[in-house]
C-alpha cells in the first residue's frame, strides 16, 4: 500500500497548458524570431557603412585591415548566420531549454580558469551586451518578466523563463557567429555591430512582445521583479528590504525572503491628474516663475518660446483660454504636463537629493514637459530614451552626496549638458497639431506605478552604493593585514553602520566621516603587534571613549557597543610586542570583498595593468566626460564597453547615438592627464587609478 503514491508521476499529474496558451507561446516565438531577424537584416545592411567609418578612423593599418576583413566576412556569411541565429534562438524558447545566464556564458570561476583568452573576451562581450540591454529596457523587461511568471506558473506555458531575456538573445548570436569560421578579432567586431545595431534597438521587440502578452490576457504577477533587475535573478527580496530601511546594517544577521509587492497608484490619483484642469501647486508655481518674464515684458527671454509656453500651460491649467489651442489640445497638454509635474515632485521630495541640485531639477521639469507634449510615448512607453535618462539622472543625483563635492559638481554640469541634447523647440508645440491623443486613466496609472518602482529602485541603489563604498574602504584600509575574529563585530556591526549613516546624510567630505576614518586608522594601528608605542593606557582609554561616543551618537544599540568595545580592550591587553595573530581573518572577507594575501605572500604580477584598470573603469552605462580628439573638446558620454581584443573602449551619447571609439593608450593618457573624467569612481577604482598614475609618474 505504501508504494501506491510512488507510482504516480508528479509531472503527469499536473494540468497541461491549454491550446490557447500553446498558441500564445507560439505567437511570442514567432514575433520574437521575426523581429530579431528584421534587426539582423538591418545590421547586415548597415554593416558596410559602419565598418567603413571605423576603418577611416583607424589609427594604423592593422586596425584598418581588421575592419575590412570583418566587412568581407559579414557579406559572405550573412545568410547562413541569420538562419543559424533564428534556429538557435527558436530552439531555446521552449520550457525544456537549459537556462541561459551569465554563468553559462562563462562567468563560473572554475570554467574561466580553463578558458583561453579569446573565449574569455567573447564571454565578456556577450555579458556586456546583455547587461547593457537589461539597463536600457529594464522597465519593460520587468513587466514582461512578471507576465511570463504568471504564464509559466499558473498556466503551465511551455516557454523558458529566459526565452526573452537579453542574455538568451546574445548567447544565440554568439553561437551563430561561430558558424562564420572567422578569427577572434573579427568576431569581436561582429559583436560590436550586433551591439550597436541590434541590442541598442530592441525596444520595438519588447514593445511587440508586451502587446502580445496583454492581448492574450496575461496579467502581471504581484511578485514581479523590480525593473532594475534582469531576468533570472532569484532573490530580489534582499535589495527590496534594504531599500526601505536606510541606513544599511552590516551585521551578520540572516536574511529572509518575502514577496515583492506590486506597485499600485494611490486610489484616485491618476483620475484626478487626468480629469482635473489644474496643476499641483509646485508645478504651477514652477511654470508661473518661468513664464513671469514673458508675461511682464512680452518678450520670451529664452528666445525659443519656452517661457511663453510655460505661461500658456499655467493659464490653461487655471481654466483660461489660450489663443490657438483647441479644447482637445488644451486637455491633452495639461494631462501630460500634470504627469511630468508629478514625476518631478517625487524627485524633489527625495530627502537624499542635494539642495544644490534641486533648482536644476526643477528647471529640468519644463524641458521634460516639452518632450511629453511632443510625444505621447514619453508617458506610455517606459523605455522612452528621455524618460529613462531623467530617471537615471535622478538616481545619480540622489547618490551624489555619497560621492562627495566633485561628483556633485559633475552631476550638476551633466544635468545642464544632457538637457541640451533632448531640448525640444517650444514654438513648434504652441502651434495646434492636426490631431493629438488624449491619455486614459489606465495609462496614467501605469506611468505612476512605473515611477513608484523607479523610486524604490533608487532607494535600493543608494543602499547598494553605500554598502560598496564602506566595504571597499575597509578592504583598502586592511589590505595586507589580518584582523582577529573578536574584532570583526566592532568593524562590521558598529563602525560600518555608523559610517554608512555619515555617508548618506553628510557625505565623504564631512567632519563626521573624516573623524570615523581617523578612528579606524587608530584602531588598526593599535592592533599592530609592533606598535607598542600606541597601546599605552591613556591612548587606549582615549580611543575607547571616542569610539563609544561616536557609536552612541548615531543610535547604535548600547549593549552591542559595550560588548564590542570590551572585546577590543581584551584583545589589546593580550597583544605583546611579538604576539602572533594566528586566529585571524580579513575584514575584506566579511565585507564581501576578496580576501587579502598573507603578509608574507607576494601578490602576483598583473598580466596587463592597463587592461585590468580599463576593465575596472569602463563599466557599461557609466558616465564620463570624454575628451574627443577630433572635436578637441570634452563630451558627456556613457561607456558602452571596453573591448580588450580590439584594445579600445567605446562611448556613446545617452540615446546610444554618436559612438566614439578610443584606443586604450589614448584613453589612459587622457585619464591620467584628467582630460577625461569619470563622474563617479568607487574607492577601489579610484585607488587603482591613483596607483597606475603613481607608477606612470
Q: What is the CA 684 to chain-centroid distance, rounded?
A: 19
Q: What is the pLDDT of residue 340?
A: 92
Who has greater pLDDT, 3 or 214? 214
Q: Which long-range contacts (CB under 8 A, 24 or more apart) does 5-9 make?
A: none
Strand partners, 677: 625
Give the three-class secondary structure for 633. Answer: strand
- Give tens-digit pLDDT for 51-92: 776 677 666 777 777 777 777 777 787 788 888 888 888 888
Share of the chain above pLDDT 90, in %: 3
- Give dist(CA 345, CA 365) in Å, integer: 9
Question: What angle separates helix 203-215 from helix 138-153, to the nearest 10 degrees?
Answer: 40
User: Which of 353, 356, 281 minimizes the C-alpha distance to 317?
Assistant: 281
Q: What is the pLDDT of residue 2?
A: 43
Q: What is the pLDDT of residue 240?
A: 34
- Give dist(CA 199, CA 197) in Å, integer: 6
- Give dist(CA 533, CA 214) in Å, integer: 72
- Give dist(CA 331, CA 317) in Å, integer: 9
Give the three-class secondary structure for 416. Answer: helix
φ/ψ (deg, to 5) at 639: -70, 130
- Give dist(CA 198, CA 35) in Å, integer: 10
- Give dist(CA 499, CA 230) in Å, integer: 30
Contact 187, 122 (CB under 8 A): yes
Q: What does R_g of the chain's alpha carbons equal in angstroms?
A: 28
User: Which of 179, 184, 182, 141 minimizes the C-alpha distance to 163?
Assistant: 141
Helix, strand, coil: what percent of the chain each, to 5? 65, 5, 30
pLDDT class of 14 with cuts at 50, 70, 90: low
Q: What is the pLDDT of residue 18?
A: 85
- Give dist(CA 532, CA 576) in Å, integer: 8
| Sequence-ordered list of residues with C-beta below 8 angstroms from that of 545, at least 6 positions apart, any chain | none
Contact 432, 324 (CB under 8 A): yes
- Give dist(CA 597, CA 338) in Å, integer: 57
- In this structure, the number of other CB atoms found within 10 A of the CB of residue 577 comes to 9
pLDDT class of 181 with cuts at 50, 70, 90: low
C-alpha cell at 369: 514637459
All domains of the chain in start order, with CATH: 15-234 (no CATH), 269-439 (no CATH), 463-590 (no CATH), 609-696 (2.30.30.140)
pLDDT class of 606 with cuts at 50, 70, 90: very low
- Give tens-digit pLDDT for 226-265: 433 333 333 333 333 333 333 333 333 333 333 344 667 7
Q: What is the pLDDT of residue 226?
A: 40
- Give tens-digit pLDDT for 336-392: 999 999 999 888 888 888 888 888 888 888 989 998 998 888 998 888 888 888 888
C-alpha cell at 381: 512607453
Sign of CA dihedral 297, 303, 305, 311: negative
Helix (H) or strand (E) holding 691: helix 683-696
Q: Which long-range contacts (CB under 8 A, 24 or more apart) does 392-395 make?
A: 393/361, 393/364, 393/418, 394/347, 394/350, 394/353, 394/361, 394/454, 394/458, 395/454, 395/457, 395/458, 395/461
Mean pLDDT for the chain overall? 76
Contact 115, 123 (CB under 8 A): yes
- Give dist(CA 84, CA 41) in Å, integer: 13
User: Which of 125, 222, 109 minimizes the C-alpha distance to 167?
Assistant: 125
- The pLDDT of 412-441, averaged and rounded, is 78
Distances 209 to 24, 173, 317 between C-alpha atoms, Å: 11, 19, 37
- Give tens-digit pLDDT for 632-665: 888 888 888 888 777 888 888 876 677 888 888 8
| Sequence-ordered list of residues with C-beta below 8 angstroms from that of 68, at least 6 positions apart, any chain | 51, 55
Strand partners, 625: 636, 677
- Give dist(CA 658, CA 672) in Å, integer: 24
Q: What is the pTM of this model?
A: 0.54
Amino acid at each position: 500500500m505504501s508504494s501506491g503514491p510512488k507510482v504516480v508521476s508528479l509531472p503527469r499529474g499536473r494540468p497541461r497548458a491549454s491550446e490557447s496558451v500553446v498558441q500564445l507561446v507560439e505567437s511570442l516565438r514567432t514575433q520574437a524570431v521575426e523581429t530579431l531577424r528584421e534587426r539582423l537584416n538591418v545590421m547586415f545592411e548597415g554593416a558596410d557603412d559602419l565598418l567603413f567609418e571605423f576603418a577611416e578612423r583607424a589609427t594604423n593599418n592593422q586596425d584598418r585591415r581588421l575592419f575590412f576583413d570583418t566587412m568581407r566576412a559579414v557579406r559572405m556569411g550573412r545568410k547562413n548566420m541569420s538562419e543559424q541565429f533564428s534556429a538557435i534562438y527558436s530552439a531555446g524558447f521552449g520550457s525544456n531549454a537549459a537556462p541561459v545566464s551569465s554563468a553559462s556564458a562563462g562567468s563560473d570561476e572554475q570554467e574561466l580558469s580553463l578558458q583561453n583568452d579569446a573565449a574569455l573576451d567573447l564571454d565578456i562581450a556577450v555579458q556586456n551586451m546583455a547587461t547593457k540591454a537589461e539597463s536600457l529596457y529594464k522597465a519593460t523587461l520587468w513587466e514582461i518578466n512578471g507576465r511570463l511568471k504568471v504564464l509559466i506558473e499558473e498556466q503551465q506555458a511551455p516557454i523558458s523563463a529566459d526565452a526573452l531575456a537579453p542574455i538568451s538573445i546574445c548567447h544565440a548570436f554568439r553561437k551563430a557567429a561561430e558558424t562564420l569560421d572567422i578569427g577572434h578579432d573579427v568576431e569581436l567586431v561582429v559583436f560590436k555591430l550586433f551591439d550597436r545595431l541590434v541590442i541598442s534597438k530592441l525596444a520595438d521587440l519588447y514593445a511587440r512582445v508586451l502587446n502580445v502578452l496583454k492581448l492574450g490576457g496575461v496579467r502581471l504577477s504581484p511578485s514581479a521583479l523590480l525593473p532594475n533587475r534582469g531576468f533570472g535573478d532569484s532573490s530580489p527580496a534582499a535589495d527590496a528590504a534594504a531599500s526601505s530601511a536606510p541606513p544599511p546594517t552590516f551585521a551578520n544577521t540572516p536574511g529572509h525572503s518575502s514577496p515583492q509587492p506590486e506597485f499600485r497608484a494611490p486610489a484616485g490619483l491618476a483620475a484626478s491628474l487626468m480629469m482635473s484642469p489644474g496643476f499641483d501647486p509646485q508645478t504651477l508655481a514652477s511654470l508661473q516663475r518661468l513664464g513671469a518674464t514673458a508675461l511682464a515684458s512680452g518678450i520670451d527671454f529664452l528666445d525659443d518660446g519656452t517661457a511663453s509656453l510655460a505661461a500658456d500651460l499655467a493659464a490653461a491649467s487655471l481654466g483660461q483660454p489660450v489663443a490657438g489651442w483647441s479644447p482637445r489640445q488644451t486637455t491633452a497638454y495639461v494631462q501630460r504636463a500634470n504627469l511630468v509635474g508629478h514625476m518631478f515632485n517625487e524627485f524633489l521630495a527625495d530627502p537624499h537629493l542635494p539642495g544644490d541640485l534641486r533648482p536644476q531639477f526643477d528647471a529640468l521639469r519644463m524641458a521634460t514637459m516639452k518632450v511629453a507634449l511632443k510625444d505621447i510615448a514619453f508617458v506610455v512607453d517606459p523605455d522612452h530614451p528621455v524618460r529613462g535618462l531623467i530617471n537615471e539622472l535622478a538616481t545619480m543625483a540622489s547618490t551624489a552626496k555619497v560621492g562627495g563635492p566633485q561628483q556633485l559638481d559633475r552631476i550638476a554640469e551633466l544635468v545642464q549638458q544632457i538637457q541640451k541634447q533632448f531640448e525640444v523647440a517650444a514654438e513648434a508645440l504652441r502651434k495646434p497639431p492636426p490631431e493629438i491623443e488624449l491619455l486614459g486613466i489606465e495609462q496614467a496609472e501605469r506611468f505612476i506605478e512605473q515611477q513608484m518602482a523607479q523610486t524604490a529602485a533608487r532607494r535600493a541603489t543608494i543602499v547598494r552604493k553605500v554598502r560598496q563604498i564602506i566595504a571597499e574602504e575597509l578592504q583598502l584600509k586592511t589590505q595586507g593585514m589580518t584582523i582577529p575574529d573578536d574584532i570583526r563585530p566592532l568593524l562590521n556591526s558598529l563602525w560600518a553602520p555608523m559610517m554608512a549613516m555619515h555617508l548618506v546624510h553628510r557625505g565623504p567630505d564631512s567632519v563626521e566621516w573624516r573623524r570615523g576614518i581617523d578612528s579606524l586608522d587608530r584602531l588598526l594601528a593599535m592592533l599592530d603587534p609592533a606598535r607598542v608605542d600606541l597601546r599605552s593606557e591613556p591612548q587606549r582609554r582615549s580611543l575607547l571613549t571616542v569610539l563609544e561616543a561616536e557609536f552612541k551618537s548615531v543610535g547604535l544599540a548600547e549593549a552591542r557597543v559595550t560588548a564590542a568595545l570590551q572585546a577590543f580592550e581584551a584583545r589589546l591587553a593580550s597583544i605583546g610586542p611579538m604576539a602572533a595573530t594566528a586566529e585571524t581573518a580579513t575584514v575584506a572577507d566579511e565585507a564581501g570583498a576578496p580576501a587579502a594575501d598573507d603578509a608574507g605572500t607576494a601578490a602576483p604580477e598583473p598580466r596587463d595593468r592597463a587592461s585590468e584598470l580599463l576593465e575596472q573603469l569602463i563599466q557599461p552605462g557609466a558616465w564620463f566626460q570624454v575628451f574627443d580628439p577630433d572635436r578637441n573638446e570634452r563630451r558627456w558620454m556613457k561607456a558602452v564597453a571596453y573591448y580588450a581584443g580590439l584594445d579600445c573602449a567605446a562611448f556613446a551619447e545617452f540615446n546610444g547615438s554618436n559612438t566614439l571609439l578610443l584606443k586604450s593608450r589614448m584613453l589612459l593618457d587622457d585619464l591620467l592627464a584628467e582630460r577625461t573624467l569619470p563622474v563617479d569612481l568607487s574607492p577601489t577604482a579610484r585607488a587603482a587609478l591613483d596607483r597606475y598614475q603613481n607608477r606612470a609618474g
